[in-house]
Amino acid sequence: MTVAAPRIRMLIDGQFIESASSHWQNVVNPATQDVLAQVPFATPGEVDAAVAAAKEAFKTWRKTPIGTRARIFLKYQQLIRENMGELAHILSAEQGKTVPDAEGDVFRGLEVVEHAAAIGNLQLGELANNVANGVDTYTLLQPLGVCAGITPFNFPAMIPLWMFPMAIATGNTFILKPSEQDPMVTMRLVELALEAGIPKGVLNVVHGGEEVVNAICDHPDIKAVSFVGSTRVGTHVYNRASLAGKRVQCMMGAKNHAVVLPDANKEQSLNAMVGAAFGAAGQRCMAASTLVLVGEARQWVPDLVAKAKTLKVSAGSVAGTDVGPVISCAARERVEGLIASGVEQGAKLVLDGRNPQVDGFEKGNFVGPTIFAGVTPGMRIYDEEIFGPVLVILEAETLEDAIDLINANPNGNGTALFTQSGAAARKFQEDIDVGQVGINVPIPVPVPLFSFTGSRASKLGDLGPYGKQVVMFYTQTKTITSRWFDDQTLGHGVNTTISLK
C-alpha cells in the first residue's frame, strides 16, 4: 500500500491551512529521490488573503512596544537552539547537505535572530536639542507595513532567518515565500516562531513558483521585497517590484575569486580552498569557485587535487560525508554540461567528479569534486556561475594582475586573499572592487553586527540584508521639528521661517 506524501501547509492569519491549489510539486530527497512531501503553488486568492491578514495585523503590531518585540526573539532563539538537531536533519534530508553543514545553515540564521532581539538598540532615532531658539529636531524610524521575502533552495534555514526576524522586529508584518524545492525546514522554523509568540497575521507563508513571485512583486499592499537567489530571477524581481513602487533588495549570483600568493601558508590555504569550493556541494552564492594562483603558487595544483580526492561523496545523512548531492536531477545535468563545455573549450580537467560511485545511493544527484586548470575568461566555466562542486583555476604573474582580473569580472559578491604580507593584504582590500573581502578567510560572510555587502552585478538595491543596513531598509525615517510655547509667548504665525540665530 502506497502512503501519500504529507502536504505542506501555508500560514495565513495565524492558521496553518491546506491550499486549495490544483498544482502541487514533490519535495524530493536529492540523495535517494524519495518523495518527502508535496508543496502547493498558492492561488491568487490565497496570496491576497495572506497580504490582507498581514495588513490588518500591522495596525496593532506597529504599536507593540519594542521591548515586547525583542522578548519574542529572545524566546525564538532559545527554541531554535533547543531544536537544532531536528532542524538540521530535516534540512539535510530535503536539501542534501551534510548534517554538520545543515547545523551551520541554521546557526548562521540563529545569529540574525539574536541580533533581532537587540532591536531596542538598533531602531534608535536621533535628537538635536535646541537647533534654533526653543526648537528641537529628532527622527523616528517607523515600520513600512507589509513586507515580503523570497528565499532560495541552498540555504532554506539561514536566508528566511535573515529576512522575517529583522522585518518583524522593526514593527512590520511579513509574507514569506520559501523555495518550493525544500520548504520543510522553513515551515518548522515558522512553527517555532509562532510558539515564541509572534501574533497571528504578523508572519504569513505562501508557497509557489513564478506566478506567486509575480503576485508578491505586483501587490499594491506590499511595501518592500527582499530576495536572495539567482541573478536571472533576482533581476526580474527587482525590475518588477521596483516598477510597482516597492523598496527592493536582491542578493544574486556571483563568481567569487580567491587569490593565493606564493608567501601564503600552503597547508592552511589549500585546506581552506577545498572547504570553500566543495562544501555544500558548491551550492553557495559565496562559494570560492574560482582560484587565482599567483607566481610560484601555480605549482600547488597537484597538492590541491590530492586534498580534493580525499573528500567523501555521499548522502548528507551519512557520517563523515564531505560532499552531498546537488539539489535536483536538473541541477546535476547542468553542472555536468558545464564540465563538458570546459573540456571542449580547452581547459585542463585535472579532477573529474562526474558519475561518482556512491554505494547505497545510486539514484542520487551526485557530482564529486571537480577541478579545472588553465582556465581563462571567455570559457563558460569561468563566465557562468556553475553552482556545483567545481573549482576553476586561473593564473596570474603578480597581485596587480590578479586584481585586474577580478575587477574585470561583472560580479562583486565576495573575494579572498591568502598571504602573510600585510602590505599585500592592504593593497588588495583597497584596490579590489568587490563588496566583501576576506584576508585568509575564504568565505567572508560578515556576522550580523555588520551587513551583507555584495556589490555590482551580484546585488540590486542599495541596502543589504541583516545588520544596520536592514534596519534602514525596513523603516521609514520621519524627521520632526518641534517648538513648544508657554502661555505668555506672543507672536503671530505669518513668518514660518525658523531663525537659526
Catalytic residue among 217, 250, 285, 329: 285
> Which residues, listed in sequence order, are joined to residue 74 by a DSSP beta bridge?
none
The three cell numbers locating residue 406: 577580478
Measure CA of the first residue to CA of the last residue in the chain; give whole Å. Answer: 87
Residue carrying C-alpha cell 558545464 = 338
No. of helices (H) and no. of strands (E), the chain: 16, 22
Cα–Cα distance, 132 to 83 (Å, whole number): 55
Taking each helix axis as running N to C, give the angle between helix 66-82 and helix 158-169, from 0 to 180 degrees, rounded to the nearest 10. Answer: 160
| Whether 285 is catalytic | yes
Please say whether the beta carbons of 92 and 98 come within 8 A. yes
Please say whether the beta carbons of 348 and 301 come within 8 A. no
Contacts of 319 (CB under 8 A, 6+ apart): none
Q: DSSP class of residue 282? A: G
Kindly report the number of other CB atoms within 10 A of residue 387's CB atom. Answer: 23
SS3 letters across 16-69: EECCCCCCEEEEECCCCCCEEEEEECCCHHHHHHHHHHHHHHHHHHCCCCHHHH
Residues known to be catalytic: 285
